[in-house]
Amino acid sequence: MIQDAVQNSVIGRAIRNGIISVDTVCIRDYSVNKHGRVDDYPYGGGAGMVMEAEPVYQAVQHAVKQTAGHPRVIYLTPQAEVLDQTKVESLALEEDLILLCGHYEGIDERVLQEVVTDYVSIGDYVLTGGELGALVLIDAVSRFVPGVLGNDTSADFESMQDNLLEYPHYTRPEVWHEKAVPPVLLSGDHKKVEEWRYQEAVRRTEERRPDLLLKARRIVCAWYGAEEVGVFAEALLSRVSRYGELLNYNRNALRKKRRELSDRDLLLLVTDDAAGESVPEKLLGSHSSVAVVIAGSADCQDSETTTEQMTAYWEKKGFSAAGIYHADVNADAIKITELALEIRMNAVKQPSGGFPGET
Ligand SMILES: C[S@@+](CC[C@H](N)C(=O)[O-])C[C@H]1O[C@@H](n2cnc3c(N)ncnc32)[C@H](O)[C@@H]1O
């Protein structure tokens, strides 16, 4: 079932081009029973069958041996948090993944305890087996592997990364069934197009997935320090949010201008100032969150300032700290992506009220 499905379309092309590979292991091949059975009756009685521990264990060990190290072993199960884009991105950073598919009533709990590192559900409903779940995961994760999509940037920003659904799309003709394409999309004004897309994304999310809006943050990335800090800040911001605003606070005009962020904003402050303080005075928060990234060189000394001191400092300015991070300003793309994921995950844990982009 898996091998048939992955031969098609984008994933099939990526496999043929050697960008990803999907191997399958048949648990039945590890049966400890002369009839090739891998299931048995449940202790305690009840309907259905349970997959035995030993064949599952042997099959997983076989799969582990095909990998370079200690891969994450993911059991597809309805008894888990539902897969989301953040989890997908974190899984995409792994070199190898082992996906374990259950059948019948499920798998003997003891082997799950021994081999599984992650439990993933693809939705709050029950399937007959884990294969379709595994295929969903393979598809979603592969999109983040460089080279899988023709256009490398298109997996960076999609519905969900900002906890916003995507804006509507249009293509030719300009008028179809008397419906015209929104004029702003024909204006050629990139800034206006981006703002329209952001507003549409907020509107659509409010309409269809209001639960997601609670997790959405508008990111304001302020940076100051050496030029290379600016380059790092831009790369980081591009992985944290599609709609983020990048502000160079080396500029005097900006430093003098009062700017107060709201409780739905996250200030992403990137600096090479090891204390993470000396923040432009007029940049203030109002129950806003802040993530401070101290971008130094790999061998730079940690600052004397403690996390408590820094948290107290930020609280006085109206921010609650969503995290203080130390990063190498020359970090590679993978390290930057890992940091961005951590920032996003911590940011949504911060409580918040209304939404700033609402019209
Ligand atoms: C019929 S289900 C077993 C359901 C199990 N009795 C329960 O209630 O949790 C058989 C297998 O399908 C897979 N499965 C079912 N629903 C799933 C979902 N929502 N997400 C991922 N895998 C699922 C799991 O691997 C599971 O072991």
Domain encompassing residue 209: 157-216
123 CB less than 6 Å from ligand 1?
yes
Q: Is residue 17 part of a domain?
A: yes
- Residue 358: pLDDT band (50, 70, 90) is very low
Q: Which pLDDT does position 321 carry in this prediction?
A: 79
| Residue 73 shares a structural domain with residue 104 | yes
Q: Give the pLDDT score at 346.
A: 86
Residue 354 lies in a domain: no
Q: Quick one: 186 and 255 in the same domain? A: no
Q: Are residues 225 and 185 in the same domain?
A: no
Q: How confident is the model at residue 302, as a pLDDT?
A: 55
- Tens of pLDDT, residues 170-206: 999 999 999 999 999 999 999 999 999 999 999 999 9
Atom of ligand 1 minimally distant from the CA of 100 = 25
Judgement on whether residues 53 and 178 belong to the same structural domain of the protein: no
pLDDT of residue 277: 61
Contact (CB, 8 A) for 277 and 305: yes
Q: In angstroms, what is the span from residue 102 Cα to ligand 1's centroid?
A: 7
Give the atom of ligand 1 at the shortest distance from the alpha carbon of 129: 12
Which residue has the CA at smallest separation from atom 6 of ligand 1? 105
Closest-CA residue, ligand 1 atom 18, reads: 78
What are the tens digits of pLDDT across the range 125-183?
Answer: 999 999 999 999 999 999 999 899 976 555 555 667 789 999 999 999 999 999 999 99
Q: Is the CB of 114 under 6 A from ligand 1?
A: no
Residues 207 and 243 in one domain: no
Residue 59 lies in a domain: yes
- DSSP for 239-304? HH-SS-EEEETTSHHHHHS-EE--TTEEEEEEES-TTS----TTEE-SSEEEEEEEEE-TTPPPPS
Residue 127 Cβ < 6 Å to ligand 1: yes
Q: How far apart are CA 25 and CA 28, in angstroms?
A: 9
244 lines ligand 1 (CB under 6 A): no
Pair (58, 169) in one structural domain: no
Per the structure, the count of domains in the chain is: 3
* Share in percent of the chain as helix, strand, coil (round to 5): 35, 20, 45
Specify the pTM.
Answer: 0.89
Q: Do 110 and 175 lie in a common domain?
A: no
- Cβ 47 under 6 angstroms from ligand 1: no
pLDDT tens digits along 233-276: 999 999 999 999 999 999 999 989 999 999 999 999 999 987 66
Q: Which residues contact 350 (CB under 8 A, 6 or more apart)?
A: 266, 289, 320, 322
Domain boundary among 216, 238, 263: 216
